[in-house]
Amino acid sequence: MTHPIKSELPIKNALLLIDIQEKIINTINNKDSIIKNIHKLISSYQILDENIFISEQNPNKLGKTLPKILPNEDFTKILKMDFSLARSQNLIEKLENKNITNLIICGFETHICIQQSALGFLKQGYEVLLISDAMGSRNKLDHEIALQRMLYKGAIITTTESIIFEICKTSDRKEFKQIRTIIKN
């Protein structure tokens, strides 16, 4: 099923945290910085009352999502065996029910689950925003090539701070002081 044409729907975002699991992150290049950025995204999303979805790839073998990454409340967890989260009918139904148009993606590994998910979501008509400093792979080259491939297929590459300010939209917003504090830390 394809998603309705973007111009017909108001922009509505969802943050997808892909496979931020115990056994996956151990060998990730630059993992501490990536985890810090993912935490900023989650903290900001919770303040701005946005939609958060978390996937776990084969949790029996790869472990659960890092506890320090889990949002405080109101998120949906998707368990998967497929590398592509875009193949989860459960997730697609939830996105459609909430009229989600834009998927903001971070997590691990860029060249496997993130790439396959992003390419699948693009085919389904979603706008895909990749948070380049909040995702990674074991090898830097795999990360860089995957970003290039997804960009070529239509994804948008951005950074943690940029997307947080984009979603906040204005410094007049009552939550802006909290957002500013998250960015500074």
Enumerate the domain spans of the chain: 9-184
Q: Is the pLDDT of residue 30 over 80?
A: yes
Distance of CA 143 to the CA centre of its chain: 15
So what's the pLDDT on residue 72? 79
pLDDT confidence of 3, banded at 50, 70, 90? low
Q: Is the pLDDT of residue 170 over 70?
A: yes
Q: Is the pLDDT of residue 6 over 70?
A: no
Rounded CA-CA distance 83/106 in Å is 14
Helices (H), the chain: 22-25, 31-48, 59-62, 89-97, 115-123, 140-152, 160-168, 176-184
Rounded CA-CA distance 173/29 in Å is 36
Rounded CA-CA distance 105/32 in Å is 18
Q: Give CATH for domain 9-184.
A: 3.40.50.850
Q: Is the pLDDT of residue 26 over 80?
A: yes
pTM for the full predicted model: 0.91
Cα distances (Å, whole numbers) of residue 29 to 69, 98, 106, 161: 18, 34, 14, 20
Rounded CA-CA distance 30/41 in Å is 17
Structure-token pair, residue 113: 């689950």
